[in-house]
């Protein structure tokens, strides 16, 4: 972690939940639960298990020291077990880490860290969903220019835009929640057979899973890394949904568009050089955090092929990118929440932007109306396209056109084909963006209803 960059790239509670102390505590949680599970099954004395569990507190150990000693064995579990054993002392010390291997400790810790981080991440995503649902409901009928390939297209409503963001965030959150049954304990010993515990091994595994409130796997998953891939995929979906929403906010906040603005605390969004700037910094930071996900996901997936019963290197390659992926997803969600809390919508500017093209963005409706009047689709399309070109001319809409600055209604009404089927009043209604948002309001209602049903 970097104190210099973490304020931007590691915002929110997930940072601490995947830090060194959190990992140490998760490994110690495994050791404590293992001892208590073994006592439950009758493998070790209860008083020994309690003595071990009492010393499984991260504040008793130094992450820096454990990390330095990890180089000698290739993972941090070995030196932590030695330190724990020394602290337990006495007869109970001989029962620390019984029947386990280092990967059991680190894999289970990874699952615990993931579960705790995902819990915090879901809180921020739920808050984002609530804010987006409010925007969708408030602006269900607020006309806004639709945009395709970064150019104006037929109108939508801002509520429809927000509902699209909401759908993506809620779907990503659902994928995270669905991970629950796949977050399984890891306990298999040297090669996954629990041979050191004989026929009591499976009972210890079941008791360990119960104590940690994790799923019990059918068999240890030391080299079957589908679970890691599923976590990576779910976190990637979160980052993708956040990046979509935050990216749109950044575009809509451009000075030339100005349909939304982030209004945060004094000083937020400022520039080190330009006194007039009001940057959407929360959305920018959300985009930056989310943008780190693809490389981290690729690393996790590229190292999914673990050889034989225990891997040489592929397992080790997972540790940092998994923590970093959780961290960047958590930061992305927290920054998006902040952006949406600050967001202010400008319906008047949306209407002004709709009027920039003089009705061109609604021309598709004229084509559809001609088809309804009995004109062939291609003939209708070609006639309306020609009218649009005459209206727009070589410059801005209505400027320098062959029709001397006439309105688009005038140009369409003067066309032999169009004018023969549609009168000026009908054309004016068709070109009014407020009446051309299709089923936007219906889809907003459906999105909100679906969200309430899921909740």
Greater confidence (455 vs 218) lies with: 218
- Burial class, 308, CB count within 10 angstroms (exposed 0-12 / middle 13-18 / buried 19+): exposed
Q: CB–CB of 220/227 below 8 Å?
A: no
| Residue with tokens 């929110």, as numbered in its chain | 12
What is the pairing mode between strands 151-157 and 143-148?
antiparallel
Taking the C-alpha atoms of residue 125 and residue 205, their distance in angstroms, rounded to an integer, is 33
Residue 35's alpha-carbon distances to 32, 97, 100, 131, in angstroms, are: 5, 8, 11, 45
pLDDT reported for residue 266: 65
Query: Which pLDDT band holds residue 147 (cuts at 50, 70, 90)?
Result: very high
* Average pLDDT value for residue range 139-157: 95
Q: Is 190 left (phi over 0), alpha (psi -120 to 50) or beta?
A: alpha
Tell me: the pLDDT tens digits for 54-71?
999 999 999 999 999 999
Closest CA to 47 of 93, 86, 80, 101: 93
pLDDT for 273: 46
Q: Tally the residues of the chain.
A: 455
Domain definitions of the chain by residue range: 6-349, 358-435
324-335 confidence digits (pLDDT tens)? 999 999 999 999
Q: Write down the pTM of the prediction.
A: 0.91
Report the pLDDT averaged over residues 27-35. Answer: 98
Q: How far apart are CA 15 and CA 23, in angstroms?
A: 12
Span 358-435: which CATH code? 1.10.40
The catalytically annotated residue of 263, 271, 402, 455 is: 271
CATH code for the part of the protein at 6-349: 1.20.200.10
Q: What is the mean pLDDT of residues 252-263?
A: 96
The whole-chain average pLDDT of the chain stands at 93
Classify residue 87 as exposed, middle or buried by CB count within 10 Å of its CB (0-12, 13-18, 19+): middle
Asked about 271 being catalytic, the answer comes back as yes
pLDDT digits (tens, 9 = 90+) for 179-205: 999 999 999 999 999 999 999 999 999
* Average of per-residue pLDDT across 295-308: 97
Phi/psi for 44 (5° steps) reads -130, 160
Distance CA 110, CA 3 (A): 23
Q: How confident is the model at residue 320 (pLDDT cuts 50, 70, 90)?
A: very high
Q: What angle do CA 115, 120, 126 make, to 5 degrees?
A: 120
pLDDT of 272 higher than 50: no
Q: Given the residues 310, 349, 390, 429, select the one marked as catalytic.
A: 310
């Amino acid at each position: 972690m970097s104190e210099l960059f973490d304020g931007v790239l590691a915002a929110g509670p997930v940072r601490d939940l995947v830090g060194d102390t959190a990992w140490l505590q998760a490994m110690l949680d495994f050791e404590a639960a293992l001892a208590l599970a073994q006592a439950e099954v009758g493998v070790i004395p209860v008083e020994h298990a309690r003595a071990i569990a009492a010393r499984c507190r991260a504040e008793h150990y130094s992450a820096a020291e454990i990390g330095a000693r990890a180089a000698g064995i290739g993972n941090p579990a070995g030196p932590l077990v030695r330190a724990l054993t020394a602290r337990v002392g006495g007869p109970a010390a001989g029962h620390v880490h019984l029947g386990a291997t280092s990967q059991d400790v680190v894999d289970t810790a990874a699952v615990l860290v993931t579960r705790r981080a995902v819990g915090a991440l879901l809180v921020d995503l739920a808050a984002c969903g609530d804010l987006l649902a409010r925007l969708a409901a408030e602006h269900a009928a607020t006309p806004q220019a639709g945009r395709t390939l970064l150019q104006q297209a037929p109108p939508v409503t801002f509520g429809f835009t927000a509902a699209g963001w909401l759908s993506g965030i809620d779907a990503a959150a659902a994928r995270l929640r669905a991970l629950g049954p796949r977050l399984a304990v890891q306990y298999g010993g040297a090669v996954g057979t629990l041979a050191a515990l004989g026929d009591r091994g499976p009972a210890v595994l079941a008791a360990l899973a119960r104590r940690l409130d994790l799923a019990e796997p059918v068999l240890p998953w030391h080299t079957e890394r589908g679970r890691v891939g599923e976590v990576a995929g779910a976190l990637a979906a979160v980052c993708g949904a956040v990046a979509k929403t935050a990216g749109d906010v950044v575009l809509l906040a451009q000075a030339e568009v100005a349909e939304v603005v982030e209004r945060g605390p004094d000083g937020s969004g400022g520039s080190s050089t330009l006194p007039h700037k009001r940057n959407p910094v929360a959305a920018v930071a959300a985009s930056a955090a989310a943008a780190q996900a693809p490389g981290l996901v690729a690393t996790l997936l590229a190292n999914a092929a673990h050889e034989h019963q225990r891997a040489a290197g592929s397992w080790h390659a997972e540790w940092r990118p998994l923590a970093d992926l959780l961290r960047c997803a958590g930061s992305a969600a927290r920054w998006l929440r902040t952006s949406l809390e600050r967001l202010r919508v400008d319906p008047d500017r949306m209407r002004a932007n709709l009027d920039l093209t003089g009705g061109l963005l609604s021309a598709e409706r004229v084509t559809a109306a001609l088809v309804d009047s009995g004109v062939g689709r291609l003939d209708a399309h070609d006639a309306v396209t020609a009218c649009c070109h005459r209206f727009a001319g070589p410059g801005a809409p209505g400027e320098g056109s062959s029709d001397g600055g006439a309105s688009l209604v005038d140009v369409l009404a003067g066309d032999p084909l169009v004018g023969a089927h549609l009168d000026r009043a009908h054309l004016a209604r068709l070109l009014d963006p407020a009446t051309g948002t299709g089923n936007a309001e219906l889809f907003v209602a459906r999105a909100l209803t679906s969200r309430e049903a899921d909740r």
